[in-house]
Amino acid sequence: MKRILFKSGTLVDPSSGRVWQADLLVEEGRIKAIDSGLVPPRGTEVVNAGGCLIFPGCVDVHVHLREPGFEHKETIATGVRAAVRGGFVAVAAMPNTRPVADSAAVVGYVRARGEEEGLAQVFPVGALSRGSEGKEMAPLGEMRQAGAVAFSDDGRWLADAQLMRRVMEYARMLKAPVISHCEEPALTKGGVMNEGITATVLGLRGMPAAAEEIAVARDIILAEFTGCHLHVAHISTAGAVRLVREARSRGLKVTAEVTPHHFTLTEEAVQGYNTNAKVNPPLRTRADVEALREALADGTIDIIATDHAPHAREEKEVEFDQAPFGISGLETAIALVFTELVHKGVLDLPQAAAKLSLNPRRLLGLPGGVLAEGEPAELTLIDPEREEEVDPATFASKGRNTPFAGWRLKGWPVGVVVRGKWIPVRPLPGEGLREI
């Protein structure tokens, strides 16, 4: 592995809350030294990081890489390129592929394909139930041995409470979190957006906030009963936030994530029947957005994740009712965090780094997330002053389905260190164009 020296960067360590300027030397895949005025040994690659923030490598705990089975939407190859371009050094791949990742064979395949690509690391999430059909528990132990870092039926809520109890008991023994897509299907059947005045005006069937909140409440009760670590995926309502906050206040092992589109957009984005704003859970009200931002600031929400859900262009260019749910989010997430949260004072730099790096790693049981000598040298470099317009045509992902096309965002990743390699993705301050 090449030795790399980052000169004059602003280091952000979420574990200590410290922000300071220093040089950082990477050697043999680890942080060798952090100090001012480091002299590079012969043969060292020197990167001028002046004007850049250096975060521990960002990790996205919720992506859909679509392989195997839906390669027309995304492949592991295009997905990990999108991750690196978006500033992520690792991703957790959800199991709703074809076949579903409900066996050691599929989990092992996803892990191996990620290793073959050699860019962002891919950590598979195994299904809770066979085929994610909610009827029979999947072989959790075998999938854990094959590399699964968590278990989820993402895209569906496991409605059978007895089965969810057994799954949580096994997951606790395996020391793996259960990631729950909280949605009571009886309340959302046929729904395509948030239930409310906007849905009424547009003539679209709504999905009430209560559907999410009922599911969150039940899963918290089961998590308390079993001692399992429950992670609430893509939380979207003020009521769900209150439930998670209360659970955490009682010391329960409950964590939650929010997506950039849920802390940025409201249901108004659907106006004009914009299918690129059709997501599940749906975009909610301004009051919900404010509750999500407050929960990020006070620590109720631990993690920012993309729920990257790429689709082929022709799948989204249909009537709103027929279009699939999902946003291609890997390549805009960090810029939205900076534009909407950091620059607006919702989060400070250590808080942002914690929600993008340290806390995702803790959820999945991964090392790192700390800037200190001897720690793994997985890094994300961000230019907080860089302004750029979102252009889906430049995405590395196959999915161009984003409601942020044309938005001008401030604060973009410029490169990552992963697997001991420095991979620049945008110009450092004062440099020319970089491509991967």
- Please state whether the peptide bond connecting residue 384 to the residue before it is cis, i.e. omega within 30 degrees of 0: no
261 is in an annotated binding site: no
62 is in an annotated binding site: yes
Question: Which residues are marked as active site?
Answer: 307
181 is in an annotated binding site: yes
141 is in an annotated binding site: no
48 is in an annotated binding site: no
Residue 419 half-sphere exposure, CB side, CA atoms within 13 Å? 13
153 is in an annotated binding site: no
Closest CA to 137 of 174, 109, 110, 108: 174
326 is in an annotated binding site: yes
HEC string of the chain?
A: CCCEEEEEEEEEECCCCEEEEEEEEEECCEEEEEECCCCCCCCCEEEECCCCEEEECEEEEEECCCCCCCCCCCCHHHHHHHHHHCCEEEEEECCCCCCCCCCHHHHHHHHHHHHHHCCCEEEEEECCEHHHCCCCECCHHHHHHHCCCEEECCCCCCCCHHHHHHHHHHHHHCCCCEEECCCCHHHHCCCCEECCHHHHHHCCCEECHHHHHHHHHHHHHHHHHHCCCEEECCCCCHHHHHHHHHHHHCCCCEEEEECHHHHHCCHHHHCCCCHHHCCCCCCCCHHHHHHHHHHHHHCCCCEECCCECCCCHHHHCCCHHHCCCCECCCCCHHHHHHHHHHCCCCCCHHHHHHHHHHHHHHHHCCCCCCCCCCCECCEEEEEEEEEEECCHHHCCCCCCCCCCCCCEEEEEEEEEEECCEEEECCCCCCCCCCCC
280 is in an annotated binding site: yes
203 Ramachandran zone, left/alpha/beta (phi>0; psi -120 to 50): left
66 is in an annotated binding site: yes
229 is in an annotated binding site: no
Angle subtended at Cα 296 by Cα 293 and Cα 302, rounded to the nearest 5 degrees: 150
Burial class (CB in 10 A: 0-12, 13-18, 19+), 331: buried
276 is in an annotated binding site: no
Contact status, residue 61 vs residue 92, Cβ threshold 8 Å: yes
Residues of each annotated binding site for Zn(2+): 62, 64, 154, 181, 234, 307
Residues of each annotated binding site for substrate: 64-66, 96, 280, 311, 325-326
Residues of each annotated binding site: 62, 64-66, 96, 154, 181, 234, 280, 307, 311, 325-326
